Structure 1
Amino acid sequence: MTKTYLHDKFLSIILKYNNLSKPLSILLAVSGGKDSLCLIKLIEDFNNIYNYFDTIQYIYIDHQWRNDSKQNIQHLLNYIDITNNQIYIYQISKVHMSESTIRKIRYQIILKHATKYKIRFIFTGHNQTDQLETFLLNLIRGTGVEGLSSLPFIRHIKNYIQIIRPLINIRTGDISWFCHKFNLPVWSDKTNYYYSNYRNRIRYELLPYLKEYFSPKIEYNIINFLKLSSIENEYIKQNAIKLYISSRHSYYLAIHYKTIKDQHLALQKRVLNIFFYYNFNKFLNGNIINQLTQYLHRKNEIEVSIIWEDLKIRIYRYWIYIQ
């Protein structure tokens, strides 16, 4: 096997991550693109030497958006067959859905599959360019600090499942070089060139424009900003979790808001978000969060009720609880 610096980088990533103690089973979410084929080769080469993974499964979600989707699947099946590992193909039957809806469904399918086969680690081929594009997309949509680093190296999911992105610090140009060097059969997805897709416009128009007219180091600067933001965001997150644990009721679904009302607004909002996501799997919208934080500082003790979706939120005697 010919080793490259990407092999060395991948090796250091796997060996430095303490939770990946061998042997273990992993699930790789793949397509026929260069990121997926690069990740497949790195995984297979790594495992041939170190025998690190007990089971390697591949999963592909067919959106049925393209008229060549069947040929793409067959191409992927032929390539995975060389690895002697199993691939699972899932199809999304409704084709007329938004990209964000499709993305949610795709993750639901992948997580359900991982849960069914008791696989704790899901690997995806997201790279550094994906991170840049996601940052700019979320920034345009008006995200908060949490959304700036929405593609971290590791994301912990319920049921102890973790999503790992080992290529997240690798540039797309390096991945293209790797695929050319090993003659990997990359399947060209023509939807990646449709300018009706915002991500494609960012990739082929906005980022080159910023690089040309604002700073040739714009990608490096954004990545550096994301690293700093991630550190600060993690600090806020850890403090919010501690505050949530100390403020929640030991039996009822309630938060003692007197415990959190003198804390910084950023922590108050985080605690409220943790409460509703952990107990009801719901993300609070900005309007509801603003209402709740305003009620925390009211002077009278009048009971307040807020109807949000299918929940009745009540605030009384220093408690926020769900009836």
Structure 2
Amino acid sequence: MTTTYLHDKFLSIILKYQNLSKPVSILIAISGGKDSLCLIKLIEDFNYINNYFYNIQYIYIDHQWRTDSKQNIQHLLNYIGMTNNDIYVYQILKIHMSESTIRKIRYQIILKHAAKYKTQIIFTGHNQTDQLETFLLNLIRGTGSEGLSSLPFIRQINNNIQIIRPLIHISAGDILWFCHKFNLPIWSDKTNYYYSNSRNRIRYELLPYLKVYFNPKIECNIINFLKLLSIENEYIKQNAIKLYIASRHSYYIAIHYQTIKDQHLALQRRVLNIFFYYNFNKCLDSNIINQLIQYLYVQNQEKTSIIWEDLTINIYRNWIYVQ
């Protein structure tokens, strides 16, 4: 079997990951593009030599956005069939939805499948270029520091499932070279060239423009910035979790706001986000967070209520609680 520097890089990534020190079951989210085919090749070659994964499953989500989706599925079935591993195809029936909505549904399907089949690790084919594009997209949308680094190498979903992006530090150019070297059958997706898609416009217009007219090393600089940002975010996140545990009620869905009142604003915002995401699977918008923090400093003994979506958020007697 011919090996390349990408094989060596993939090997070093897997071996230093402590949870893969024994055989595990993995689920690989794929499409027919170069990233997925590169990931398939690397995983199959790695497992052929090391036999780390006792169960490999592939999953494909059909958005039905393309007229050639059926042909693409058949192409993947033929290719995965050569690996002797299972592939599961899910189809989203309602096709007229936004890209962000589709992304949420896609992750929900993948996570439900992983839970059903007791899969510990989910691999995705996101690469370094995806990370750059996501950073610029979220920056334009006005996200916070956590949103800017929203494609980490590892994402812990729960005690049993993790998402790993083993290609996240590999450029799209290196992946394309790898696919050409091994003559991997890349399925060309014409929707990747529609400029109505913001990500495509960033890929083909904004990033090249920044490289030519501002800094030819803009990609390297952004990647270095994201690495530093990820370290700082992790520090704030760990402290916010500790503060949330210290402030939450032992029985009711409530947090003791006097406990978080004297903490830094960054920790206050994180604790409130954790509280609503953990209990209601909802992300607070900036307006609600600002209102809640403002009420923390109002010396008022009367109960204050804020209506947000289907929740009534109450602030009363040192507690923030929800009805």
| TM-score, normalized by the shorter chain, greater than 0.5 | yes
Amino acid at match of 2:298: R
Q: Distance in 2 between matches of 1:242 and 1:156?
A: 17
Deviation string for 1:225-259 (max 9, x for gaps)?
A: 00010001111100000000111111111111111
Q: Distance in 1 between matches of 2:315 and 2:285?
A: 18
Find the counterpart in structure 2 of residue 230 from structure 1: 230
Shifted more, 257-266 versus 155-164: the winner is 155-164
Aligned partner of residue 27 in structure 1, secondary structure: strand
Find the counterpart in structure 2 of residue 63 from structure 1: 63
Q: Across the two proteins, how many residue pairs are aligned to each other?
A: 323
* 1:24-43 paired onto structure 2 within 5 Å: 24-43=24-43
Find the counterpart in structure 2 of residue 44 from structure 1: 44
Which blocks of at least 5 consecutive residues in structure 2 are unaligned?
Answer: none
Find the counterpart in structure 1 of residue 269 from structure 2: 269
* 1:121-270 paired onto structure 2 within 5 Å: 121-158=121-158, 160-270=160-270
* 1:269-288 paired onto structure 2 within 5 Å: 269-288=269-288
Aligned partner of residue 142 in structure 2, secondary structure: coil
Q: Distance in 1 between matches of 2:308 and 2:67?
A: 42
Amino acid at match of 2:113: H
Q: Distance in 1 between matches of 2:37 and 2:89?
A: 16
Shifted more, 241-250 versus 303-312: the winner is 303-312
Which blocks of at least 5 consecutive residues in structure 1 are unaligned?
Answer: none
Q: Distance in 1 between matches of 2:30 and 2:136?
A: 24
Deviation string for 1:183-225 (max 9, x for gaps)?
A: 0000100100111100000000000000000000000000000
Amino acid at match of 1:22: K
Deviation string for 1:77-130 (max 9, x for gaps)?
A: 111011000100111111111111111111111111111101111000000000
Find the counterpart in structure 2 of residue 297 from structure 1: 297
* 1:72-91 paired onto structure 2 within 5 Å: 72-91=72-91
Deviation, 1:21, is 2.8
Amino acid at match of 2:30: V
Deviation, 1:303, is 1.4
Deviation, 1:308, is 1.4
Question: What TM-score comes out, normalization by structure 2 length?
Answer: 0.99
**Identity across aligned pairs (percent)?**
84
Deviation string for 1:22-60 (max 9, x for gaps)?
A: 211000000110000000000000000000000000000
Aligned partner of residue 243 in structure 1, secondary structure: helix
Q: Distance in 1 between matches of 2:4 and 2:318?
A: 60
Deviation string for 1:266-307 (max 9, x for gaps)?
A: 100100010111111111111110110001011222211112
Deviation, 1:133, is 0.2
The structure 1 segments of at least 4 consecutive aligned residues displaced by more than 2 Å after TM superposition are none
Deviation, 1:11, is 0.4
Deviation, 1:317, is 1.2
Contact 2:249 2:255 in 1 (8 A): yes
Find the counterpart in structure 1 of residue 14 from structure 2: 14
Deviation, 1:165, is 0.2
Q: Distance in 2 between matches of 1:21 and 1:119?
A: 16
Structure 1 vs Structure 2 CA RMSD: 0.8
Find the counterpart in structure 1 of residue 105 from structure 2: 105
Aligned partner of residue 282 in structure 2, secondary structure: coil
Aligned partner of residue 20 in structure 2, secondary structure: coil
